[in-house]
Structure 1
């Protein structure tokens, strides 16, 4: 969504977006594969919800309208046979507000995509993550995008058990009009100062080295970025 629309309209020159949302036609080439986004679904620890399909008839917050994780979340729910707005009541909040709504019982589950642990949890709270491993292959079959299976360690959040979840890379894209030298500067920034972009104590930001930056999948690398990676970094 929103970032892709702004990029297509020429309102911004570069954008971070989830790879499953990007059309592989090269109109918005990638500067690099930056990090892995963990799609996470959380419920209260004592909730009777044990599986994704248990969300039928429940209230679920999917995050802000237009966000990539909300779109991926809808794909996940539809894959599980849950139509948003029909089988579940969908709400949209910023993550920090959604966490509070979950604590107060205003929603039954929250879905978001980010690194783990997620910095938006300013005050660590007890929650239970749903295991989503069984939906990774069906999501690929339904959408054509090869999602990853990622492991979330136990106690990532207070009291949480280890689970597997859905992963999707986050790409840094360039507009078609962005000058080659600007693309090169951004690629250089990712290579040489990428560690400054990585929050401490997170495990979802593992792609800030040349081996992973170039792994943009079906989205082609911008020629200037590809040339920079080849010339200076093999």
Structure 2
């Protein structure tokens, strides 16, 4: 989407009487800290969440970062009212809005912005004979923690590859330990590059990633255009070449109950504090592109976020 068409879209949305009424004269007043549903220790959800919480607190909006299992868990937290904002993969957010598994009923999510690209990372020990997903058929693998987007994607990946495996659902730290000890032959993780826990593993013993791009046609045919081609840069986890894999955008989401002024304050911070929201360990290829913040796909922007982007960019 071009900058011009993005501006036209925002002008069109902001032109509605409802949104104009919501956004007129909004200011953020004193309130208890917002709960931000983030993710697992050792992953980028927590790192990004903590950076965002720090920036929001500095802007006068206190935020508490809540550790969770990942995208599915975060959306459940939002639905139950235990969190005000949360991070979620686009494919999981769309499944929630459509009432698809594992949600059972529609969740009326809205987005504050598209914040970064997640990379699907299927990790094996460097000496493992597998050169593709097919080489893991029948073997013990960890496909993400319960409540994570990786767990949902893992099932979709095996279906697209046409294989079955001895699947466990482990949190990232446990999956890393299982791979290192040999009790698991692979782990699937969805996150930024390099993910800290995986970088720590690679520093202790050689690992590599399996390419996943061959499964994109099947994944897109079955689940739509939320998945796209991305490449893990060379040397992300040691001395290896670039690895083509599957990417999916990550969204900062909320429900319609979030106050427009609060959503606007969060959106404004995503723009004005963008350089401070990139974890130090990131390679810089997947983070917070201000031009794509409103590119949230089928998940509509919260009216308060629309107001902020319109104010900042016209």
Structure 1 residue 55 corresponds to structure 2 residue 163: no
Structure having the higher helix fraction is 2
The 1-side partners of 2:279 and 2:248 are apart by 18
Q: Which residue does the alignment assign to 2:28?
A: none
Query: For 1:32 and 1:171, how far apart are their aligned partners in 2?
Result: 6
Equivalent position SS for 2:273 = helix
2:299, 2:284 → 1: CA distance?
A: 20
- Give the corresponding residue for 2:116: 35
| Aligned match of 2:157 | 76
Measure how far apart 1:11 and its partner are.
1.9
Give TM-score scaled by structure 1 length: 0.92
Tell me the secondary structure at the aligned position of residue 237 of structure 2: coil
Q: Counterpart of 1:41 in 2: which secondary structure? A: strand
Structure 1 match to 2:231: 151
Greater C-alpha Rg: 2
TM-score, L = length of structure 2: 0.69
Among 255, 260, 279, which residue is 1:199 paired with? 279
Q: CA deviation at 1:210?
A: 2.7
1:14 corresponds in structure 2 to 85
Residue 18 of structure 1 contacts residue 69 of structure 1 at CA under 8 Å; is this kept in 2? no
Conserved 8 A contact 2:192-2:286:
no
* SS, match of residue 206 in structure 2: coil
- Offset at residue 94 of structure 1 (A): 2.1
| Mapped partners of 2:303, 2:285: distance in 1 | 24
Provide, for residues 72-98 of structure 1, a one-character-per-residue CA deviation record: whole Å limited to 9, x for no partner. Answer: 12211211113xxxx211112221221
Q: Is the 8 A contact 2:144 2:169 kept in 1?
A: yes
Counterpart in 2 of 1:93?
A: 170
How far did residue 143 of structure 1 move?
1.4
Contact 2:179 2:185 (C-alpha < 8 Å) held by counterparts: yes
Aligned to 1:132: 212
Equivalent in the alignment of 2:292: 212
User: How far is the alpha carbon of 1:158 from its aligned partner?
Assistant: 1.4
- Deviations along 1:185-209, whole A, 9 cap, x unmatched? 1101111112222112424664424
RMSD of aligned C-alpha atoms? 1.7
Tell me: CA distance 1:226–1:207, structure 2 relative to 1, closer, same or farther (3 Å): farther
CA contact (8 A) 2:216 2:227 kept: yes
Q: How many residue pairs end up in the alignment?
A: 230
Q: Which residue of 1 aligns with 2:180?
A: 103
Which runs of 5 or more structure 2 residues have no equivalent in the other structure? 1-71, 99-106
- Aligned equivalent of 2:248: 168
Aligned residue among 59, 63, 75 for 1:4: 75
Please report how far the alpha carbon of residue 152 of structure 1 lies from its aligned counterpart in structure 2 after TM superposition: 1.1
Stretches of structure 1 lacking an aligned partner (at least 5 in a row): none
Higher relative CO (CA 8 A, sep ≥ 6), structure 1 or 2?
A: 1
Give 1:51 shift.
0.8
Q: What is the distance in 2 between the residues matched to 1:80 and 1:32?
A: 32
